Amino acid sequence: MFGVIASMVDGLLLGAVYGLAAIGLTLIWGVMNIINLTHGALIALGMFGVYFLTARVGGSPYVALLPVAVLGFVAGLAIYGLSVHRVIARPPLMSLLSTFAVNMVIIGAGTAFWSTSIYNLPFSVPGITWQGFTFTGAHMLAAAVAVVVAGALYLFMRHTRLGKAIRAVANNRQAAELMGIPSGRILAVAFALGVALAAVAGGLIATLFPFTVLSGSGYQLKSFVVTVLGGLGNPAGALVGGLLLGLIEGGVTPFIAVSWTPVIEFVLFVLILIAFPKGLFARGAAR
C-alpha cells in the first residue's frame, strides 16, 4: 500500500512540471485563442538549452534555466512576428497550419544538428528514502521550481502593469485598445512569455529523464490533456490539472505497464471533453 502512495507522491512531483508546461500553452490560448503547435518543439529546445549550457559552462542546470527562459522569450517574439500575428482572428485552421509549419522547421533543424540520439544530463540531487522507497531530490527540486515559476507568473499577471494589460487584452481586445493599450505588443509579449514557460519546463524535464529532439511531442500531448483538465485559458487551473495528471499516472503505474499510461490519459481526455467541454476548472480567458 505504501508503494502505491509513494508512486502517487512521485507522480504529484512530476505533475507540477506537467502543469508548468501546460501553463505556457494555455496562456497563449487564453490571450489570443491560438493553439500553439510549436509547443512540443520548444519544450525540446529548452531541454537542449539546459543541456548545452550546463555542459559547456558548468554549474547547476537550474542556473541555466534563467538564460534558457530569456532565449525562449526572444524565440517567442521571433515566432510571433514570423508566423503568428498574421493569423490572429483568422480561422483556427490558419494558426494551426502556421504553428505546425514552424514546429516542423524546428524539429528538422534540431534533427540535422543533434540527430535523434538520446541525451542525458548528468545531474543528481540527494533524495529521501523512507520505508525502502526513495523520493529523488531531482523530482522534488523540479517540482519546487515549477511551483515557484507558476507563482511568479500569477503575481506578474495580477500585480504588474504589463500583466494587467495582458489580462485586459485577453478579456476584451477592442476595449483595451480604446483605453490606449497597444494590443499588438501585448499579444507578442504574451506569446513570448508562453514560449519561455515551455522552454523552462523542458529544461526541468531534462534534469529528470533522458531526451531526444523528438521528446517534446509527448509532453505537448500531455500539455493538451492538462489544459483540458484545468480549463482552457486558465493558467492556475493548468497547474492543478498537471498535478491531477501526475497523480493519475502515479496511481496507475504500480498496477499496469507504463506503456498503457498514455492510453488511460487520452481516455480521460475524451471523457472530460464530453462531460466538461471547457475543462474542470473553466473560467474566462487569462483572468
pLDDT of residue 251: 80
pLDDT of residue 164: 92
pLDDT band at 1 (very low <50, low <70, confident <90, very high): low
Max CA separation in the chain (angstroms): 62
Q: What is the pLDDT of residues 218-245, one digit of tens each?
A: 899 899 888 888 877 788 888 888 888 8
- Residues of the chain with pLDDT > 90, as a percent, come to 44
| CA pair distance 220, 42, nearest whole angstrom | 9
C-alpha cell at 190: 504574451
| CA pair distance 12, 6, nearest whole angstrom | 10
Q: Which residue has the higher pLDDT, 9 or 72?
A: 72
Please state the pTM of the whole predicted model.
Answer: 0.90
pLDDT of residue 282: 61
Closest Cα partner for 285 from 242, 232, 230, 229? 232
| CA pair distance 201, 216, nearest whole angstrom | 10
pLDDT band at 281 (very low <50, low <70, confident <90, very high): low
Rounded to the nearest 5°, which phi and psi values hold at 86?
Answer: -80, -15
**Per-residue pLDDT for 287 more than 60?**
no
Q: Which segment of 77-81, 203-207, 255-259 scores lowest on mean pLDDT?
A: 255-259
pLDDT band at 284 (very low <50, low <70, confident <90, very high): very low
What mean pLDDT comes out for the span 110-134?
Answer: 81
pLDDT band at 132 (very low <50, low <70, confident <90, very high): low
Q: Where are the alpha helices (DSSP H) in 213-260?
A: 216-230, 235-252
The position carrying cell 535523434 is 116
pLDDT of residue 285: 46
Closest Cα partner for 281 from 230, 247, 244? 230
Each domain of the chain, given as residue ranges in start order, spans 2-101+134-275
Closest Cα partner for 123 from 68, 53, 67, 69? 53
- Residues of the chain with pLDDT > 70, as a percent, come to 93
Q: What is the pLDDT of residues 48-99, one digit of tens each?
A: 999 999 987 777 899 999 999 999 999 999 999 988 988 887 888 888 899 9
| CA pair distance 212, 202, nearest whole angstrom | 11
pLDDT of residue 187: 93
Rounded to the nearest 5°, which phi and psi values hold at 172?
Answer: -160, 95
Dihedral sign, Cα of residue 276, residue 202, residue 14, residue 115: positive
The position carrying cell 509579449 is 189
What mean pLDDT comes out for the span 200-214?
Answer: 93
Beta carbons of 209 and 259 less than 8 angstroms apart: no
Amino acid at 148: V
The position carrying cell 524535464 is 205
pLDDT band at 131 (very low <50, low <70, confident <90, very high): low
| CA pair distance 152, 122, nearest whole angstrom | 28
Q: What is the mean pLDDT of the chain?
A: 86
C-alpha cell at 272: 472530460
| CA pair distance 43, 30, nearest whole angstrom | 19
Closest Cα partner for 27 from 68, 89, 91, 76? 76
pLDDT band at 5 (very low <50, low <70, confident <90, very high): confident
